[in-house]
């Protein structure tokens, strides 16, 4: 068959799950059974192949080694396909999408992650539309044959988002994702309408799959009443290199000296601290309020409008490249794959 080609990579998730009739628990099924459920895939005019994780996983069990595995799979098949669809559980999809956006340097083809809230076999499933449209987007190109979406994206419930800008916002609604700080890349109605200005431009950089992530990163959510012992316990974790601290509002935290001393002790041990907001949208402006001024003095890195997912995975990526201290701070402040907006 001529026409575009797309590789489906099946990692697991609700999209391919079946309910065990005896226990009632949902477990992943294999890829062939999943494809049987969507015969329309055969008549889309797209050459489709698929590969699968040996054991499909609930995305709560997917982590850095699996992100590397998916990136390597894409790398191994990169030349042979016009686009890639990654079927993935929605729970941690935003983390995987973020990680892939950093691992796939110079990406020039679509990598579209999708999944569903209901299994593909159930009557009211959202899986069918998500899968079919994700394939269509992964195969879409302009009149010069260039892919329309040369980046890692998430497609869910009629909307396409930049992967490293997404957050899962609902545990039940079909519209489970948002990208609070970046416009949607496309909306699927009768036509799929792409917002070209929101999509990353074609880049002439060589494609390269990075193969290292360093998991010496933690996330700490500030809360009113946070105690310094608690901070010390977390910041004293062995092999901790960096901490993503989710702060209040535009990057604020307590001015309690004990809290700040705990951060100071960690900084003295060489731990980098990245400040992102725990709000749903907006950005960190360190120093705007007195309650964030001390962070500047402590060398806390302002994380601009990064999501927690993007901040965490970008830290793992940069540490994996050997960046520490100043180099890590510099790397965190500059966009690699459209993950943050410069002020």
Binding mask 109-138 for ligand ASP (x = CB under 6 A): ------x-x---------------------
Task: Give me the residue label for tokens 């539309």.
Answer: 129
* Pick 11 or 101: Cβ nearer ligand ASP: 11
**133 given a catalytic annotation:** no
Point out the residue whose Cβ comes nearest to ligand ASP: 89
* Pick 177 or 259: Cβ nearer ligand ASP: 177
Beta strands in 58-196 (DSSP E): 83-87, 104-105, 111-114, 152-156, 159-162, 167-168, 177-178, 186-188, 192-194
3-state DSSP assignment of residue 2: coil
52-90 per-residue burial string, b: 16 or more CB within 10 A, e: under 16? bbeebbbbeebbbebbbebbebbbeebeebbbbbbbbbb
Number of residues that bind ligand ASP (CB under 6 A): 10
* Pick 14 or 179: Cβ nearer ligand ASP: 14
Distance CA 243, CA 308 (A): 11
* Pick 159 or 265: Cβ nearer ligand ASP: 159
* Pick 77 or 159: Cβ nearer ligand ASP: 159
CB 11 within 8 A of CB 56: yes
Distance of closest approach, residue 58 Cβ to ligand ASP, in angstroms: 4
Distance of closest approach, residue 25 Cβ to ligand ASP, in angstroms: 11
272 near ligand ASP (CB under 6 A): no
Binding mask 153-182 for ligand ASP (x = CB under 6 A): ------------------------------
Selected binder of ligand ASP within 37, 52, 59, 250 (CB under 6 A): 59
* Pick 29 or 243: Cβ nearer ligand ASP: 29
CA nearest neighbour of 92 among 137, 60, 119, 118: 60
Distance CA 342, CA 181 (A): 12
Binding mask 83-102 for ligand ASP (x = CB under 6 A): ------xxx-----------
CA nearest neighbour of 85 among 28, 27, 156: 156
Of 57-65, 100-108, 139-147, 299-307: span binding ligand ASP (CB under 6 A): 57-65
CA angle 297, 300, 304 (to 5 degrees): 120
Selected binder of ligand ASP within 13, 56, 251, 338 (CB under 6 A): 13
* Pick 250 or 313: Cβ nearer ligand ASP: 313
Distance of closest approach, residue 252 Cβ to ligand ASP, in angstroms: 32
Of 31-39, 58-66, 101-109, 135-143: span binding ligand ASP (CB under 6 A): 58-66
Beta strands in the chain (DSSP E): 5-12, 17-19, 26-28, 47-57, 83-87, 104-105, 111-114, 152-156, 159-162, 167-168, 177-178, 186-188, 192-194, 208-209, 217-221, 242-247, 272-277, 301-302
Distance of closest approach, residue 192 Cβ to ligand ASP, in angstroms: 23
Selected binder of ligand ASP within 30, 58, 232, 285 (CB under 6 A): 58
Distance of closest approach, residue 191 Cβ to ligand ASP, in angstroms: 27
The tokens for 212 are 């290292």
3-state DSSP assignment of residue 249: coil
CB 102 within 8 A of CB 163: no
Distance of closest approach, residue 60 Cβ to ligand ASP, in angstroms: 6
Widest pairwise Cα distance in the chain: 68
CB 250 within 8 A of CB 283: yes
Question: From the candidates 11, 14, 114, 246, which is the catalytic residue?
Answer: 14
The tokens for 161 are 């988002």
Catalytic residues: 14
Using CB under 6 A, list all residues that contact ligand ASP.
13-14, 58-60, 89-91, 115, 117
């Amino acid at each position: 068959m001529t026409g575009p080609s797309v590789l489906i990579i099946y990692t697991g998730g609700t999209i391919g799950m079946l309910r065990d009739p005896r226990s009632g628990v949902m477990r992943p099924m294999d890829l062939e059974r999943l494809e049987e459920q969507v015969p329309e895939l055969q008549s889309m005019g797209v050459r489709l192949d698929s590969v699968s994780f040996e054991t499909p996983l609930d995305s709560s069990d997917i982590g850095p080694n699996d992100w590397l595995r998916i990136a390597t799979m894409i790398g191994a098949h990169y030349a042979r396909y016009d686009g890639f669809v990654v079927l993935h559980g929605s729970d941690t999809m935003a983390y995987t999408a973020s990680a892939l956006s950093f691992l796939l340097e110079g990406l020039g083809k679509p990598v579209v992650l999708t999944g569903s809230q209901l299994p593909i076999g159930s009557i009211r499933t959202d899986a069918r539309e998500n899968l079919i449209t994700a394939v269509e987007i992964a195969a879409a190109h302009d009149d010069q044959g260039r892919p329309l979406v040369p980046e890692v994206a998430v497609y869910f419930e009629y909307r396409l988002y930049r992967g490293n800008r997404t957050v899962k916002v609902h545990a039940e609604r079909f519209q489970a994702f948002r990208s609070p700080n970046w416009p949607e890349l496309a909306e699927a109605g009768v036509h799929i309408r792409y917002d070209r200005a929101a999509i990353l431009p074609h880049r002439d950089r060589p494609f390269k799959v990075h193969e290292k992530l360093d998991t010496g990163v933690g996330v700490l959510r500030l809360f009113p009443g946070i105690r310094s012992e608690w901070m010390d316990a977390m910041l004293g974790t062995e092999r901790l290199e960096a901490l993503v601290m989710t702060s209040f509002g535009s990057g604020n935290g307590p001015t309690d000296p004990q809290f700040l001393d705990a951060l100071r002790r960690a900084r003295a041990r060489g731990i980098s601290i990245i400040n992102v907001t725990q709000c749903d949208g907006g950005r960190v402006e360190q120093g705007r309020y007195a309650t964030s001024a001390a962070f500047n003095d402590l060398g806390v890195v302002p994380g601009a409008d990064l999501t927690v997912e993007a901040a965490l995975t970008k830290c793992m990526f940069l540490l994996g490249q050997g960046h520490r201290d100043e180099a890590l701070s510099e790397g965190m402040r500059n966009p690699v794959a459209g993950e943050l907006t410069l002020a």
